[in-house]
Chain A
Amino acid sequence: MFWTYLRRELRRRIRQAVFIALGLALGIGLVITVTAAANGVKAAQGTVLHALYGVGTDITVTTVAAKGSGGPSAFTVGGGLARTVPRNGTYFSRSLLTSSAAGLGTVSSASVTSISNLPHVSAAAGALALTDLEVSGTIQGSAKSGGSSINTNSFSVLGAGVSAGRVGTLSSSKLTSGRTFAGSDAKSDVALLDANYAAQNKLRPGATVSVGDSSGSTTSFKVIGVVQAPPGATPADVFIPLARAQALGAAPAGSASLTNKVNTIYVAATSAAQIGSVQREISKLLPAATVTTAGDLANEVTGSLASTASLANDLGKWLAIAVLIAAFLLASLLTMAAVARRVREFGTLKALGWRSRRIVGQVMGESVAIGIIGGAAGVGLGYAGSALVAKVAPVQKATVGQALGSANPGGPIRASVLKSVSQSTVHTVSVHITAPVTVSVIALAVLLAVAGGLLSGAFGGWRAARLRPAAALGRLE
């Protein structure tokens, strides 16, 4: 009797039922679309962040370079005393591997071990970001005037742990040819190349790449593999084992060498819930360090991606909630109105001996059925909306980072030379927004549909339950 009565009653007021279901469908569809879009934006932000310092890295630890620590930026030409003026026509070529241009200070490698031993840290790895500055040319004209024809070239070098595993920038790169670092490569002159750099310089596994050192000489590194960074990443051009980078790199002024030094530590927490506490522990361990979480970095993301995220999270969310509340209210009001029109019917049923709860159950059953129909339509609308978002959303831009400026290289290298090799850490990446509809989002939709039905049914049922049979039947004469 329950299902027969329910079916027939919904058929009798099919227009009202469709109207209510459509209202619920709109609200639920909007919630699904906005949630899917927000998930897509979050994924895009994750892509941007992962591209910066690798999948699996939750925290990065850096220090700011001390003032005046830029350098050494001077090297000799033609040997002899540093202040000897070279003769006209002297050709020189120097390749300096320096940490100064990265604008980062250094910390001891022992800090990596200390951080690894902190509670809730699942992995930690250090890296040394360096820049290979090549200056070459021929001394021409009067030595006093200092005229010369100088060519400069630079590429970025990252000294990475050969066993860094799931943290660090290499963790998000894909090996496209050759092999990656092995444990036995720790002290070897082997290098991985970024795919773009390799293509530009026509290098492949088996080739060699020259990397400078602190004295201006070069060391040949054998290319063992090529890695492709994820879209939007700005990886180093050349990756060499950390120990080799520490041995070769020129220490900043005031430091003896880069041995056992790193300037970036990548840390993975055991769970997302522990990131905050790990961040605090690292800050206590290294008070002078800058400890940045993915969340902190996410806050630094600017550009249209950030605006889209804000739109999805704020306006989109509240719009969806407002529409859903309106749909629930409408469903409740219409259900109560339908109950009011059926006063005589319910009064008769009570006269026949039907208990209030059976009548309330009938009303709620009808409402839940409408809610489920609305929910199913809402899921369809949500899928369509999400597909539309993914199809028509313009490419978003995300900008992260800040321009260098804290280190002051100083030294005799001319400003024009220095300017050509200075680096900026501002990254602007383009990402395509998707709007994935996940199982959890569909479950949310079903929950909302049932909740909507129950809520409207509760209002209507409450009204039906309060009817006294005599009042429900009205004046009979």
Chain B
Amino acid sequence: MYRLTGVTKNYRTGRGVVAALRGVDLVIADGEWLAIQGPTGHGKSTLLQLLGGLDQPSSGSIELGHHDLAAMRETQLTQVRARLIGFIFQTFNLMPTLSAQENVETALVPLGVPAAERRARAARALETVGLSERARHLPSELSGGQQQRVAIARALVKDPAVLLADEPTGNLDEGTRDEITGLLEQLWRERGLTLVIVTHDSAVARRAQSTRILAEGRLSAGRSPARCDPGI
């Protein structure tokens, strides 16, 4: 479970200080699917970065289970990310020189998984997202939707507790958007992981269990969980 208390994040720029987040309080239950909506430039991605331990708040606390991400050193955050958190990015962020399978394997490298087991798990992850036949293809040889599937496989191959997705359908066409959103929903249901999606697309946000609105660095209530999944 995530518990954010009084989280602020300020950035220093040439013109002064920009407050990206202002006193955010948030609780995300285990297994919850939360969509965070809001206008561009109002702190959504900043919030996602803090949830993922990619950055640290200027003040406040961010608890993930018994870990206070705000108080951790970078090496500790790296270990938390390696074990517990999967990321999906708008621009897919695949390694251009590695094949689909090798890209998925990169998520297992920090865990010290032996090479043979890495290959096997990566193959299974690609099968889960329906891309077994593309295992040896480079990202440049895959469509946008296929690349995002590889990215999803990479995020899930280590069985994380949390999946953080930043505009996962932002670069995809409508049809593919629905495809990817459907895949995420399916995986969320099957694995019971905590899923947080940042999106400005209402069609995507509607499918989430709950939504919150982030505007000018402040979080306001959106839609509460409308249905209660017995698994959560």
Contact = CB atoms under 8 A, between A and B. Distances in A.
Interface in A452-477: 468-470, 473, 475-477
A190 to B, nearest CB: 81
Contacts of A8: 97-98
B142 interface: no
Interface residues of A, number: 26
A294 to B, nearest CB: 58
B98 A476 contact: no
Contacts of A74: none
A438 B49 CA distance: 57
A468 B91 CA distance: 18
Interface stretch (A23-31, A82-90, A325-333, A341-349): A341-349
Interface string B92-118: 010111100010011101110001001
A353 interface: yes
A433 to B, nearest CB: 48
B82 A353 contact: yes
Interface string B71-106: 000110011011100010111010111100010011
B103 to A, nearest CB: 10
Contacts of B222: none
A9 B107 contact: no
- Range of interface residues on chain B? 35 or more
B49 A470 contact: yes
Contacts of B40: 477
Interface in A1-51: 1, 4-5, 8-9, 11-12
Contacts of B181: none
B110 A351 contact: no
A411 B89 CA distance: 108
A92 interface: no
A179 interface: no
B97 A5 contact: yes
A344 B93 contact: yes
Given A470-B54, A475-B45, A476-B89, A354 B109 contact: yes
Contacts, number: 95
Given A8-B97, A12-B97, A355-B110, A476 B90 contact: yes
A352 interface: yes
Contacts of B52: 351
A391 interface: no
Interface string B173-204: 00000000000000000000000001010000
A266 to B, nearest CB: 68
Nearest to A475: B45
Contact of B81 (A1, A351, A356, A475): A351
Contacts of A351: 52, 54, 81, 87, 93
B232 to A, nearest CB: 26
Contacts of A344: 91, 93
Contacts of A11: 97
B166 to A, nearest CB: 5
A1 to B, nearest CB: 5
Given A469-B55, A476-B90, A352 B110 contact: yes
Interface string A198-239: 000000000000000000000000000000000000000000
Interface in B23-53: 40-41, 44-45, 48-49, 52
Interface in A168-188: none
Contact of A477 (B75, B98, B115, B198): B198
Contact of B110 (A9, A354, A468, A469): A354
Contacts of A352: 81-82, 87, 106-107, 109-110, 154
Contact of A358 (B93, B96, B110): B110
B96 A476 contact: no
Nearest to B39: A477
A1 B102 contact: yes
Nearest to A350: B78
Contacts of B96: 12, 345
A477 to B, nearest CB: 4
Contacts of A1: 102, 105-106, 109, 115, 118
A353 to B, nearest CB: 2
B54 A469 contact: yes
A351 B93 CA distance: 11
B122 to A, nearest CB: 11
A353 B107 contact: yes
A344 B92 CA distance: 11
Contact of B102 (A4, A358, A468, A477): A4
Nearest to B109: A1
Contacts of B49: 469-470, 473, 476
A470 B52 CA distance: 10
A4 B119 CA distance: 13
Contacts of B98: 4-5, 8
Contacts of B200: 477
B106 A349 contact: yes
B135 to A, nearest CB: 14
Contacts of B97: 5, 8-9, 11-12
Q: In the A-B complex, list the 3 residue pairs whose CB atoms are closest, starting with the nearest.
A: A353-B82, A8-B97, A470-B55
Given A475-B45, A476-B48, 6 more contacts: A348-B87, A353-B81, A353-B110, A358-B110, A476-B45, A477-B200
23 contacts: A1-B118, A5-B97, A5-B98, A11-B97, A12-B96, A344-B91, A344-B93, A348-B87, A349-B95, A350-B78, A352-B107, A353-B111, A354-B78, A354-B110, A355-B78, A355-B110, A358-B109, A468-B55, A476-B49, A476-B167, A477-B44, A477-B90, A477-B200
Interface of B: 40-41, 44-45, 48-49, 52, 54-55, 74-75, 78-79, 81-83, 87, 89-91, 93, 95-98, 102, 105-107, 109-111, 115, 118, 154, 166-167, 198, 200
